[in-house]
Amino acid sequence: MDHVWISGAHFTEVTEGLSGAAEDLLLAERLAAAAIGDFSACFDLGVAFSTGSHGAACDLIEAHKWFNLAAARGDEEAATCRTEVAEDMTAREIAEAQRRARQWLCAAGRKAA
């Protein structure tokens, strides 16, 4: 199975014909990578949640959270994407996304940057 996650850049190709289970596996792999400190996976998750692709439902709060986590590690493209996503969010939604990002960092004793 080809994985088309491209860290640090927008997806340039879409994997066609993946079953729901395969998409769920792709999402789970990126979540696991983020959990062990792969902050490029955070960018990938931001893309997935902002576009509702690769097994993720479109969820701007989650997208903002993941872009925020990647941006905290210095990913400038993630910072740009976070800003673009925030344009379609309320202040309350942004605050919730920030709370979730802090919670995720604290859950395993991770540090921002």
Q: What is the pLDDT of residues 39-85, one digit of tens each?
A: 899 999 999 999 998 888 999 999 999 999 999 999 999 999 999 99
pLDDT at residue 55 in the model: 83
What is this structure's pTM? Answer: 0.79
Q: In the block, which residue shows the tokens 């921002």?
A: 112
From residue 79, give the alpha-carbon distance in Å to each of 1, 38, 57, 64: 31, 17, 21, 9
pLDDT(1) > 60: no
CA angle 113, 106, 64 (to 5 degrees): 65
- Position 104 confidence tier, pLDDT thresholds 50, 70, 90: very high
- Position 14 confidence tier, pLDDT thresholds 50, 70, 90: very low
For residue 56, what are the contacts with CB-CB under 8 A and spacing of at least 6? 27, 45, 48, 49, 62
- Position 96 confidence tier, pLDDT thresholds 50, 70, 90: very high
